[in-house]
Amino acid sequence: MAAQCAPQTLVHIVFREVTPGIDPASFGAQPRSLYRLGNGKSRSEEADDPAQHIHQVFVTDEPNTWLADLDDGTGLHVVDPGPTFFTHSPEFIGDGVSPRLTQLEFGCEADFIKDNALSPIRVEQVEGESYDVYRLDANGDAVEILKKHDKTTPTFTRYFRAQKLLLAWRYDLYETELKSDSSLFAPLAGIKYEERSAVSSGAAAASPSGGSLYFVNLTKTPASLTVDDEAHAPPKGGEVQGRGVTSGMHVLHVAIAGWPPQELKVDFDPDHVAQDETGQTFWCVVAVVDAQARLRIVPFAPQKCSVLVAEGLHPAGPDTVKPEPRGDLYFINESGHPVDFSMDGMATVPMQNREIFGYSIPPGGHDMHLMTGADRSVDVHLNFDAQNIGHDEKENGYWCVGAVTRPGGALAVLQLDAPACTELIAAGAGKPAS
């Protein structure tokens, strides 16, 4: 059994994601700072995320953890009930990742190499520099650690699944043997912390000031969901899950194989809550993969949450929700230009001319925004009627939409009716890349 990661002296690391294809200007690619000391102290500082209006700092001095949002000056204090008190900072975690590979932690990479008796398998050139590559394979997955021959600390780490590179970190700074500083592992001054038990959702469901957390997994992979350190049943890809919660601050942790786990502090405000026709209250949170292939946790405003509930995403019981009917948006770019396409404020993927894209959506109204490299854009609101939908030979449902350029150069969006959509699919337009 591997030893606990416990740096004997203060370690400070600044790292960022450099997975091929990530937008360097995106939030996911911004540097993050981590301090570790022993097996019970850590401090993680995220970059400011203007899009989500959040700037998080996580401080742990077991059994205490303080989560702060520098953007609004609020925070959460959670006490670990034990019986063990260890802090972990795994580099790669999620459903399907081998437990042996999750033992690679920030601050203990050299120990990982030693514990697994790894030797360099090759020398690799990266940006004109030579690095020794240490690799460990487990159950079809692998991690690689790249470091210079004369250094004890790494410069890159990578995670592979079935030989495909899914995640890569680059270390911009790696300091060891620093002088201990107790202030790093104390609650931040000027933050208003709310006290929260580490195990609370059992009582939360019965609270008169609570409601249902309406968690929608819009990825295609099962997610590991934790609320206030209590694990929930993993929502599968496309699945909806309801859970009783109190109003106030909660910490959501979502992990999906192949992506860095995401943690978000969410304030379930009783004055800003969605309701169904019976008066039951909901707060909606969505897990989605954005245009940069980043896993994101997105809280929905009450108005959009109400739309989700009204369109059939309704709890079937105290803990689960029936999946809603869905179809594929069959989007065809015939504009003559590459198109950046987003729906309901969430970016999908840039599309080349004559490219087809499939995107699973619920019926109802949706907002679409398209922009071409020719600096033309268009915003439309389309209604996708579950009773007016095209089908393929297997009775899979489709709504067909196309981007075209009108005479004079204006960008336009056309929606086909159900018979025309069915005819288009039957004619062999090709299955969308979902």
Tokens of 206: 């019965």
Give the integer Cα–Cα distance in Å for 369 and 344. 8
SS3 call for 376: coil
Alpha helices by DSSP H, listed for 284-396, are 302-310
Half-sphere exposure of 126 (CA within 13 A, CB side): 15
Buried b (16+ CB within 10 A) or exposed e, 198-213: eebbeebeeeeebbbb
Single pTM value for the model: 0.53
Give the integer Cα–Cα distance in Å for 299 and 310. 17
Q: State which fold the 327-426 domain adopts.
A: Substrate Binding Domain Of DNAk; Chain A, domain 1 (2.60.34)
Q: Count of CB atoms within 10 A of residue 379's CB? A: 11
Give the integer Cα–Cα distance in Å for 351 and 54. 30
pLDDT given at position 173:
97
Class of domain 199-310: mainly beta
Which residue do the tokens 């999906």 mark? 256
DSSP letter string, 384-416: E-TTS-EE-TT--EEEEEEEEE-TTS-EEEEE-
pLDDT averages per 10-residue partition of the chain, 434 residues: 82 93 83 94 90 83 88 83 77 77 93 95 91 93 94 94 87 96 95 65 35 71 72 53 70 72 76 68 72 63 64 39 56 77 59 58 77 75 82 76 81 84 70 40
Which residue do the tokens 């990825």 mark? 219
> What are residue 267's DSSP bridge partners?
249
H or E element: which one contains 250?
strand 248-255
pLDDT given at position 433:
37
pLDDT given at position 169:
94
Question: Of 373, 382, 384, nearest to 411 (Cα)?
Answer: 373
Give the integer Cα–Cα distance in Å for 430 and 225. 36
pLDDT given at position 27:
82
Give the integer Cα–Cα distance in Å for 406 and 397. 28
- Give the residue extent of every domain in the chain: 10-108+166-178, 199-310, 327-426
Question: Of 29, 268, 322, nearest to 168 (Cα)?
Answer: 29
pLDDT given at position 205:
29
pLDDT given at position 200:
32
